[in-house]
């Protein structure tokens, strides 16, 4: 570019390398819906090659403690009487002409990089106080975020400092952070248990007293990742008790998640793999599931698997002896389980051949049983927060065999039956609190202590996952010579998928309605309901009452969740999808009408984008739904004979088959009037130690 040439195109057009009509906003920016960023170029030739691209408006939030400009006149007199300078020399005023001008945090204020260095020497709370006072005096917005010139690039020391200052300043006050982190450990962590609570708490305490320029950006990413799902599910009225505006809590969840991703990139996680970034991924899964962004989850999973391999998680062979080794084993098997789960949902090859892995399984222990130098595992007869995770790792390692040899076992009924037998053999070995063998009661009980509430939800999660997977395995063989055997196994799994769920509902309806643990696993509940609804729509069993009832119950529960979490796509859209599936079944899609004219299949075809991530990918979902358009595919007489042979009139539904020989057996009844005569809660002895946060969780009604 010549010395006298001027940059006339707007910044977005230069970045996209498209022609700009130089009208502000230009047509290109209007078409891409980024009019706010379309500003006349203000970049001088001296910094053309290093201009900064600020983040969108939504990524630069105003801290909750910043007063609005309308209050300045009321306090200006007070500021003057206290000899406080009110010169607006700290942050630039966000006007339409300069709101998106290319500046970084280090370039704001007086324009001297030393300003950022000075801020970086403060603690987080001191930084909040400094910026709050500056905003109070000048009535201005906080500075725009720094920029990452390109993902994967190495940042200079000053750029990292600018990011640390910005990300630390975006944190809410300490009391609010305490609340969200406490909520996470109370209502969410039980799903993955990837974070060791005592060690996290120690680092968290240090975070608030160390200088900002010493903050670990990856740990900050983990903190934001934990706060994000907490903000999705927490009761807004609870937030008001610590001064958080309840109307902004849901949008803050999305903001904090974006800040978590920014912190990862600023911490150069792609080139510096560590255990903490694997924790960030595992924690972030819940946000992706809740916002129905499974594709982003799978993309991030590939990066995380590579990180795990880079730090040698797949090469561990020695059983855990301390915190470091146990955490490595936890993260590895959590990652393998998530990978296998996505393979089952999307019918893709897993990234890890977990069935060949020789990494030791995680131990059955509480977080308090693990120190930096020792570990004290407990017998499986004693329930802990890790009991389900140990069993889940074994189950998904077995399910991973379905994808050996390029997924050849999936097309062989003999191979599928063999893997199913291995799964049921593991089920036979479940400890008493997860057992569903004939003649025994579920762990769910009306007198279950609140401290063990997580255990009944883990029971549901484990039981439900097995049932849904059995449906997936046998569904392709329903048109094979093994039809009768497959039909009985599918029916037993479909009928029993929500057995534990109904038991929890019936045991203590008041606790169930207020349980945030149910909110946190809404995606799993949705997946199960979709599997049942599609099975009902396509296969049309003659006795569908139980299946319809299960779907209606889930729709009802998702409706309650949607009413209090209107910005949660899983609750709002999930309910709509299930309602549409149930309506399609009731309207008789898949069967000829009285005039022999077949209804259009456009309704269920429109559901493919909504359910393919549950039903095994778009191709498999379309193929399975296409059966609705072929009337002779479903044989009502055959279905009636098979169904009545599996479920004689008057017998309760099957919940889970413990052994292959008991496919037609009853386990335990999940009715609302079950008296739970043998109450296993008394066997707990109330003497087990459960590590909890001591931040005053009891002050807030999480349940």
> The whole model's pTM is what?
0.75
CA distance 168 to 146: 13
CA distance 399 to 271: 32
Angle between helix 618-625 and 608-615 (nearest 10) = 110
CA distance 558 to 580: 14
534-547 pLDDT, tens digit each: 999 899 888 888 89
Q: Output the pLDDT for position 105.
A: 46
Looking at per-residue pLDDT, the higher value among 641 and 317 belongs to: 317
pLDDT band at 437 (very low <50, low <70, confident <90, very high): low
Question: Is 501:539 a contact under the CB 8 Å cutoff?
Answer: no
Question: Is 322:372 a contact under the CB 8 Å cutoff?
Answer: yes
**How many Å from the N-terminal Cα to the C-terminal Cα in the chain?**
64
Task: Look up residue 487 and give its two tokens.
Answer: 């039909």
CA distance 201 to 505: 33
Q: Output the pLDDT for position 138.
A: 60
CA distance 345 to 616: 5
Average pLDDT of the residues in 380-408? 96
594-611 pLDDT, tens digit each: 444 444 556 767 888 899
The distance from CA 443 to its chain's CA centroid, rounded to whole angstroms, is 26
CA distance 494 to 496: 6
pLDDT band at 127 (very low <50, low <70, confident <90, very high): confident
Q: Output the pLDDT for position 116.
A: 79
CA distance 562 to 578: 14
CA distance 328 to 321: 11
Going by C-alpha positions, the residue among 226, 228, 248 that lies closest to residue 236 is: 248
483-524 pLDDT, tens digit each: 999 999 999 999 999 989 998 888 888 888 888 898 888 899
Going by C-alpha positions, the residue among 255, 252, 128, 234 that lies closest to residue 180 is: 234
Going from the C-alpha of 591 to that of each of 13, 537, 594, the distances in angstroms are: 54, 11, 10
CA distance 347 to 340: 10
Question: Is 291:526 a contact under the CB 8 Å cutoff?
Answer: no
166-218 pLDDT, tens digit each: 999 999 999 999 999 999 999 999 999 999 999 999 999 999 999 999 999 99
623-637 pLDDT, tens digit each: 888 876 554 344 444
């Amino acid at each position: 570019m010549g010395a006298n040439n001027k940059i006339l195109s707007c910044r977005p057009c230069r970045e996209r390398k498209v022609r700009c009509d130089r009208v502000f906003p230009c047509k290109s920016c209007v078409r891409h819906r980024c009019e706010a960023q379309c500003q006349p170029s203000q970049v001088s030739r001296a910094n053309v090659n290093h201009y900064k691209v600020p983040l969108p408006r939504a990524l630069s939030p105003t801290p909750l403690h910043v007063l609005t400009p309308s209050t300045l006149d009321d306090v200006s007199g007070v500021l003057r009487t206290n000899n406080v300078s009110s010169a607006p020399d700290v942050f630039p005023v966000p006007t339409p002409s300069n709101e998106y001008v290319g500046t970084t945090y280090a370039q704001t204020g007086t324009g001297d990089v030393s300003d950022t260095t000075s801020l970086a020497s403060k603690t987080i709370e001191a930084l909040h106080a400094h910026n709050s006072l500056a905003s109070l005096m000048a009535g201005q917005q906080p500075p725009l975020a720094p920029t990452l010139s390109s993902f994967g690039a190495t940042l200079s020391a000053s750029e990292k400092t600018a990011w640390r200052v910005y990300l630390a300043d975006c944190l809410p006050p300490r009391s609010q952070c305490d609340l969200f982190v406490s909520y996470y450990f109370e209502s969410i962590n039980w799903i993955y248990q990837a974070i060791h609570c005592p060690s996290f708490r120690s680092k968290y305490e240090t975070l608030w007293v160390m200088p900002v320029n010493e903050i670990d950006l990856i740990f900050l990413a983990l903190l934001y990742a934990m706060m994000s799902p907490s903000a999705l599910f927490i009761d807004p009225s609870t937030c008001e008790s610590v001064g958080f505006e309840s109307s902004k809590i849901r949008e803050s969840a999305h903001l904090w998640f974006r800040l978590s991703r920014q912190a990862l990139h600023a911490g150069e996680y792609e080139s510096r793999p560590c255990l903490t970034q694997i924790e960030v991924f595992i924690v972030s899964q819940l946000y992706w599931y809740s916002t129905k962004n499974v594709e982003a989850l799978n993309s991030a999973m590939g990066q995380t698997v590579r990180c795990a391999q880079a730090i040698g998680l797949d090469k561990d062979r020695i059983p855990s002896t301390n915190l470091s080794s146990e955490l490595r084993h936890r993260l590895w098997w959590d990652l393998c389980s998530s990978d296998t789960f996505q393979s089952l949902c999307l019918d893709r090859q897993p990234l890890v051949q977990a069935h060949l892995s020789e990494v030791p399984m995680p131990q059955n222990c509480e977080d308090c049983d693990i120190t930096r130098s020792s570990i004290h595992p407990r017998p499986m007869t004693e329930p802990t927060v890790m009991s389900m995770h140990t069993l889940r790792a074994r189950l998904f390692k077995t399910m991973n065999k379905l994808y050996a040899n390029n997924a050849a076992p999936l097309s062989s009924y003999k191979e599928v039956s063999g893997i199913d037998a291995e799964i049921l053999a593991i089920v036979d070995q479940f400890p008493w609190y997860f057992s569903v063998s004939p003649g025994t009661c579920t762990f769910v009980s009306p007198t279950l202590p609140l401290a063990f509430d997580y255990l009944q939800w883990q029971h549901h999660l484990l039981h439900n996952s097995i049932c849904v997977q059995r449906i997936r395995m046998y569904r392709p063989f329903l048109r094979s010579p093994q039809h009768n055997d497959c039909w009985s196994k599918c029916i037993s799994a479909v009928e029993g998928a929500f057995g534990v769920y109904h038991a929890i509902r019936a045991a203590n309806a008041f606790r169930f309605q207020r349980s945030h643990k149910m909110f946190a696993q809404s995606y799993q509940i949705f997946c199960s309901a979709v599997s049942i609804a599609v099975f009902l729509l396509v296969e049309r069993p003659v006795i569908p009452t139980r299946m319809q009832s299960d779907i209606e119950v889930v729709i009802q529960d998702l409706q309650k969740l949607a009413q209090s979490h209107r910005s949660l796509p899983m609750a709002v859209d999930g309910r709509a999808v299930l309602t549409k599936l149930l309506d399609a079944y009731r309207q008789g899609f898949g069967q000829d009408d009285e005039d022999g004219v077949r209804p259009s299949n456009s309704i269920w075809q429109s559901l493919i984008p909504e359910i393919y991530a549950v039903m095994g990918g778009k191709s498999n979902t379309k193929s399975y739904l296409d059966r609705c358009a072929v009337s002779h595919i479903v044989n009502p007489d055959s279905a009636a004979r098979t169904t009545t042979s599996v479920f004689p009139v008057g017998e309760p539904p099957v919940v889970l088959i413990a052994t292959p020989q008991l496919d037609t057996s009853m386990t335990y009844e999940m009715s609302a009037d079950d008296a739970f005569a043998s109450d296993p809660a008394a066997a707990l002895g109330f003497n087990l130690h459960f590590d909890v946060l001591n931040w005053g969780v009891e002050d807030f009604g999480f349940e």
